[in-house]
Structure 1
Amino acid sequence: MSDPVTVGPVAIGLDLAWGDRARTGVAVVGAGGHLLHLGTVSDDSSVTDAVAGWLEGPCTVAIDAPLVVTNATGRRPCEAALAADFARFDAGPHPSNLSRPYFVPEPRGGRLARAWGLDLDPGADASRRAIEVYPHAATIALFGLGRILRYKHKQGRDLPLLRSELTRLLDLLEGLADDDVPLVLDHPGWRRVRETVRTATTKAALRRVEDEVDAVVCAYVAHLEQHAPDRLTRYGDAATGVIVTPTLPEGLVPSPR
Structure 2
Amino acid sequence: MYTKDVKEIVDAISSLGKPSVIGVDAPLVITNAYGHRENELEFIRNYPIKIPLYPVNSSLYKSFFPTMLYMELNKIGFRFENQNIFEVYPHATLTAIFFGKLFSYKRGKKEERLAKLKVIEQKISQYIDLPNVSFGSLKEREDIDDALICALTVYLPTIENSLIFGDSCNGMLLVPFPKFVQGLIGVDNL
TM-score between both structures, scaled by the size of structure 1: 0.62
Paired AA for residue 215 in structure 1: A
Q: Give SS of 1:78's match.
A: helix
2:101 aligned with 1:142: no
Give distance in 2, aligned partners of 1:136 and 1:163: 17
Give distance in 1, aligned partners of 2:139 and 2:100: 22
Deviations 1:106-139 (A, max 9, x none): 8224213212221212xx4x6xx21111111111
Structure-to-structure mapping, 1:42-57, within 5 angstroms: 42-54=4-16, 56-57=17-18
Kept after mapping to 2: 8 A contact 1:236/1:243: yes
| Structure-2 residue corresponding to 1:18 | none
| Structure-1 residue corresponding to 2:186 | none
State the identity as a percent. Answer: 24
> Where does the alignment leave 5 or more consecutive residues of structure 2 unmatched?
184-190
Q: Give SS of 2:94's match.
A: helix
Paired AA for residue 48 in structure 1: V
Aligned length: 180
Give distance in 2, aligned partners of 1:234 and 1:79: 11
Which of 79, 84, 87 is equivalent to 1:132? Answer: 87
Which of 65, 68, 90 is equivalent to 1:108? Answer: 68
* CA distance 1:162–1:86, shift in 2 (3 Å): farther
TM-score between both structures, scaled by the size of structure 2: 0.82
Paired AA for residue 129 in structure 2: V
| Structure-2 residue corresponding to 1:172 | 123
How far does residue 146 in structure 1 lie from its aligned partner after superposition?
2.0
Indicate the structure with greater strand content: 1
Give distance in 2, aligned partners of 1:58 and 1:67: 18
How far does residue 70 in structure 1 lie from its aligned partner after superposition?
1.1
Please identify runs of 4+ aligned residues in structure 1 that moved more than 6 A: none
| Structure-1 residue corresponding to 2:129 | 184
Paired AA for residue 132 in structure 2: P
CA RMSD of aligned residues (A): 2.5
Which of 146, 149, 162 is equivalent to 1:217? Answer: 149
2:100 aligned with 1:151: no
| Structure-1 residue corresponding to 2:57 | 97
| Structure-2 residue corresponding to 1:180 | none
